[in-house]
Structure 1
């Protein structure tokens, strides 16, 4: 029987998420859910809350990165080591759809909130764990960090110049783990619509990074070779990399034969098109040093903007290498509304990155920046039935912390 359509203001309206995470991977996961309208309740420890509150650039006592990673969330402070604190969490779980945690494996079990115990009482809950190396295996108990995951996944070994391995400039293991976790949570919620039952899902920084080594892993499996670092070059196409110009750098993606021929036209170098070393992609891949030398010699004669105009006219994909400040000045970024501003009670006006996905009917919205520590503690507890006297008593006992 077909269900009647329901109009929602946001995609995840009516979904409540308990966020027991900190730093990057977990908060990024729950930020994505909050952006889509989920009521995300961030639960922090009494002693200073999320460690990321003290990381990065500080604006009037607040971490700017924390404010973005925890935007659109409500925040409470709760001491889960106390019996009263545990009781509060159980009551929150009873009225929630999702729980996300990124403690070291075994921590939630010690607190009494392992998946088996929670599922027994509240089988509707989707329970998600994010860890450094996963919940099983000989490294399960080790703490994980983005750098370590990049190193162990192979990502670091194939990034950088042939002489020097280089960390990816952004915390790709953390962010990928958060992205995969949010994706899995949505799938589990969809499954729950049909079964009425939640499930346990888990991912790790290690696996999240490994999942992106598609070219490299398959190169190894097929050839038996160990993939090497190529700088900005591509593993299967040439020319597809960054080149210097007279005033900066330009990224050129001539990833197929037709585009390569268009590039030689834009450069006014038909001799390169007809050179036996560069006739086919296989030829060009076999002669990358000679190809790079020839193209660098030509491209260094004009500015980046001059080349961009010529390449655009001939249909060659290309773009400038922009610094972060230049990114937010670019007309395409401005047109896509990727620099948002909002007011915070202590930090004042703060910028935050815009939403990378646009929805026609249920768009992501910026409702608030990351909460002040304990900002919504009393509000949330009142919603789940605690009286003012009970809340005041827990404040006095140090179980909860209000603003």
Structure 2
């Protein structure tokens, strides 16, 4: 029976021990905390290196984003005292998450077999780059490496542009996969009475996410590129005369194409042999894209958005982060909340999942380094490194 803190949320009463750093493990644990789990983040005396991103002497905004809602302890897991304290936490835990390189936890004495010997009901979950075997298994697996190796960049970066791009795709997707895995394992434990070890790989999470492109290649040999999906989905981006961008997604129903012609007041395009069928529009995507862009440039964006809405055509503004939170739909959905931070109230993205009966816990700021060490372990943390000290490289970085 877990002694996790009581509270709201579908996972209230579930305790998670997070042995994570950077993004994939902490993000998974943050998602579980948002669902009501009591998450205890275990850090080394130097702390998670992401605490110091952007050269911050205090907590970086990135660390705060991935570690909200948790309690924090500092343990030296290379010491007998630290290892004993970890196992004491495991006694009352339901889930242990880590994103070390393969074999690191076992070598230090808290691998899956060690954890399950101590607590047979524990669900242990390891997030690694490539899994425990293979020629790349022991390499440091940061997001850029996995997003490139796992094919993600080939789907979002034009071949003429050689550069990493976008958010931490593989970190975030593997964190979400880990949450899916441990929730399934919790259900299985309800049936069997015993826990299990779950392995999640960053490259495998990408492959799951890219299932459409991967399946197309495996079945037909077709190599997808960044415009393959928009072409098949008949998705287009345009700019109005005010230089504000918007998107249109026609998908398969023919009514969206005929409705768009009404919006554009261009019925003649229905007779154009290049565009008269969906197959033609897919084949001649670039030509139609140029036509739509030219027409759209004659009027401001809001003119087109109003007409598209009136004709029930799938569309939306192409928002930047600077635009997003002023969007009336986003503002109406309660997706931003205020939490108490060290310097006052902070606006943060709210959890997107809502339960009618379970509710969810109140959002809390990420913990200071070692904030709960003494309360949860009885160990004093007076000799810990401070947030202004440089963090050494971590052997276990996923």
| Candidates 276, 297, 300, aligned match of 1:300 | 297
Matches within 5 A, 1:348-387: 348-381=344-377, 386=378
Match of 1:92 in 2: 89
CA spacing shift, 1:255–1:131, aligned 2, 3 Å: same
Gaps of 5+ in 2: 1-5, 387-398
> What is the CA–CA distance in structure 1 between the aligned matches of 2:97 and 2:205, rounded to whole Å?
17
Q: Does 2:309 correspond to 1:317?
A: no
Q: Give the superposed CA RMSD.
A: 2.1
Say whether the 8 Å CA contact 1:18–1:100 is kept in structure 2.
Answer: yes
Match of 1:3 in 2: none
Give 1:294 deviation, angstroms: 1.3
Matches within 5 A, 1:1-400: 9-47=8-46, 49-56=47-54, 58=56, 61-161=58-158, 163-164=160-161, 167-230=164-227, 234-238=230-234, 240-246=235-241, 247-256=243-252, 257-344=254-341, 346-381=342-377, 386=378, 391-392=379-380, 395=381, 398=383
Matched residue count: 379
> What is the CA–CA distance in structure 2 between the aligned matches of 1:108 and 1:361, rounded to whole Å?
38
Give 1:336 deviation, angstroms: 1.3
Tell me the TM-score normalized by structure 1. Answer: 0.89
Give 1:85 deviation, angstroms: 0.7
Tell me the TM-score normalized by structure 2. Answer: 0.90
Higher mean C-alpha deviation, range 94-103 or range 206-215:
206-215
Gaps of 5+ in 1: 1-6
CA offsets, 1:181-212, max 9 Å, x none? Answer: 01111110111011110001011211111211
Say whether the 8 Å CA contact 2:17–2:39 is kept in structure 1.
Answer: yes
CA spacing shift, 1:249–1:399, aligned 2, 3 Å: closer
> What is the CA–CA distance in structure 1 between the aligned matches of 2:87 and 2:7, rounded to whole Å?
29
CA spacing shift, 1:40–1:400, aligned 2, 3 Å: farther
